[in-house]
Every structure is written in structure tokens, then in C-alpha cells.
Structure 1
């Protein structure tokens, strides 16, 4: 997938705000989408997964 510079900069800003790198942020978002695609697979809190420890997700 090709991402234009403007979109990349936006992703980078959002990821930094979340305390993650872009790839970690996209991975976390993908997990959230996967949970929504499978009702009943929520975490114990019922809110989906918590944001990751950034070092582990890079």
C-alpha cells in the first residue's frame, strides 16, 4: 500500500500522540478492527485491547 506524504504525516502525528510509532499504531488499530469483526471476543474490560507497550510493538 502506498501512503502519500500528507497521510503519513497525519499517521505519524496520531501515533506519536498515542505514544507509539506508526507501525505499532497501525498494528494496534488492526487488532481493534479484528475484535470488532468477531463479536464476543472483547477483552475482560469490554473495551478492546489496551494500547501496547511501544517497545514491544515496534
Structure 2
């Protein structure tokens, strides 16, 4: 059975950079697979550091 994976990602917006842990569900293999889902409206990060 596949397991969830936790990866460290960096997300940059106009004003800030967020670095945090992102969980990839078992039915996906890559971060891009999850982020490109049409139904995804929100990116949930944990253990986040915000850089200005």
C-alpha cells in the first residue's frame, strides 16, 4: 500500500516566501501532481517559516 510523503517546499508570492512541509497523498507521486489538481484551491503547509 502506498504511503503519504512529506516534502519541504518553497512557495514564493509577490510579497513573501513561505517554506514549509507539504503532504503528498498516496495516490500522487509528485508535488506538481497535487498542485495541478483542478479542484485544489488551497495549499496546506505545516511547520512554516515566512521570509519577507
Fold conserved (TM > 0.5)?
Answer: no
TM-score scaled by structure 2?
A: 0.32
Report which of the two has the higher share of strand. 2
Report which of the two has the higher share of helix. 1
Q: With a CA cutoff of 8 Å and minimum separation of 6, indicate the structure with the bigger relative contact order.
A: 2
